[in-house]
Homo-oligomer: A and B are copies of this chain.
């Protein structure tokens, strides 16, 4: 009964990282101090270091967890035998759902990864590059099959990815349409914009 403990319940570290994600999103990584964070967690700043080793480590945790999730998903989709347009739609829907359900962490990993330092920074840069290339290949495949209209594939990728990250503005104003509606509208505009007419 000893070793078990941080098994299914969220550890103290999980709580710290989650609070940090919220603050990093609101104020940015650099403008968030460890004293800010400590206050929101409810301890003194020094006490945070019993659970994490540095501020940088928190950002690494957030960024790589999110990145891994997206990479795993695109690999799964890419291995399936759907049409290219279906693949793009599935990826788009996954991005939107992640942005809605896991807002703080996804947002932070997208906007604050530049503050990673060097072994991690280059790793993240190459992961992002590879991900975009992967999406680009799917779009090019769709063009060859005549499913997608002739466009520059990397421009299309760029539009897809950044359009989704704009959900923040939606997220802030609760009143608007619910998540499912948002997802369908985005698909309608973006996938509709790719489709060969």
Contacts and interface: CB of A to CB of B under 8 A. Distances in A.
Interface stretch (A15-23, A73-81, A159-167): A159-167
Interface in A16-51: 27-31
A110 to B, nearest CB: 11
Interface residues of A, number: 40
Contacts of A30: 28, 30-31
In the complex this chain forms, how many copies of it are found? 2
A177 B152 CA distance: 8
Given A152-B182, A176-B154, A177-B152, A159 B192 contact: no
Interface stretch (A5-13, A60-68, A101-109, A183-191): A183-191
A4 to B, nearest CB: 41
A153 to B, nearest CB: 9
Interface in A145-197: 149, 151-152, 154-156, 158-159, 161-167, 169-170, 176-177, 181-182, 185-186, 188-194, 197
A115 interface: yes
- Most chain-B Cβ atoms within 10 A of its Cβ — which of A181, A182, A188? A188
A185 B152 contact: yes
Given A155-B186, A156-B189, A189-B194, 6 more contacts: A28-B28, A30-B31, A151-B189, A154-B170, A158-B163, A158-B170
